[in-house]
Amino acid sequence: MIPRKRYGSKNTDQGVYLGLSKTQVLSPATAGSSSSDIAPLPPPVALVPPPPDTMSCRDRTQEFLSACKSLQSRQNGIQTNKPALRAVRQRSEFTLMAKRIGKDLSNTFAKLEKLTILAKRKSLFDDKAVEIEELTYIIKQDINSLNKQIAQLQDFVRAKGSQSGRHLQTHSNTIVVSLQSKLASMSNDFKSVLEVRTENLKQQRSRREQFSRAPVSALPLAPTHLGKSGNGEVLWFWGRSPVPLGMWPST
């Protein structure tokens, strides 16, 4: 079979359509009738501000003043009228007092250690009596001061105990008892050091007395007169050997 040649449309030229446009252009009347389902957009409306006389306002002065008072009554983000803030302040004051007492106890313990080293020395030639007396006086003053500070801390805990919680009061009492125990232990150590010092002073005094009093038999006898000996032959001179009578020097 011989294939037949197919001719295209007369309105095409090398594959390009040259006929009438297939796009339909509608007239305004036709377009309006065909798109009756779509509502037209309303025209823009100009926003006209109302006159100043008709504007509504709200007086918020009291709210502003209330906010200012609230800010003034706050400190570090915590309101001062809350009981929790009072407890925090009391706790802070108690902590500072206890910390100060603990530091003083540590310093006094260091002085007591130095006094112990000096008081245990038994040498007569290395006895620092002046320094020992000064340290003894200072430690006595420190112990009295610490006793007063701990008593003040205990009074503070008793006065503020009703305002703080039970847990805080128990913790504070525990700290006070601990400080009292440390002070009592240091006082006992100080008393022991003073006893050791007293015993060493007695021993040193006894040694001095032994060195200062020599036995009578050890002292040389001085001659009372120059003369003949018991046999009439020899005269004794201090620091000389016996001399015969015939060799006595003439005066």
- Domain membership flag for residue 64: no
pLDDT at 140 over 80: yes
- Domain membership flag for residue 158: yes
- Domain membership flag for residue 13: no
Average pLDDT, the chain: 73
- Domain membership flag for residue 121: yes
Confidence of residue 248 (pLDDT cuts 50, 70, 90): very low
- Domain membership flag for residue 20: no
Assess contact for 183 and 99: CB atoms under 8 A. Answer: no
Cα(116)–Cα(195) distance, integer angstroms: 11
186-236: per-residue pLDDT in tens? Answer: 999 999 999 998 888 888 888 777 777 755 555 555 544 444 444 444 444
Confidence of residue 166 (pLDDT cuts 50, 70, 90): confident
Most confident of 21-30, 41-50, 174-183: 174-183
- Domain membership flag for residue 7: no
Bridge-based pairing state of the strands 243-244 and 12-13: unpaired
- Domain membership flag for residue 45: no
Assess contact for 125 and 206: CB atoms under 8 A. Answer: no
pTM: 0.50
Structural domain containing residue 164: 83-210
What number of other Cβ atoms are within 10 A of residue 136's Cβ? 19
Assess contact for 112 and 149: CB atoms under 8 A. Answer: no
161: domain CATH number? 1.20.58
52-97: per-residue pLDDT in tens? Answer: 555 577 888 888 888 888 887 775 555 555 566 666 676 788 889 9
Overall domain count for the chain: 1
- Domain membership flag for residue 239: no
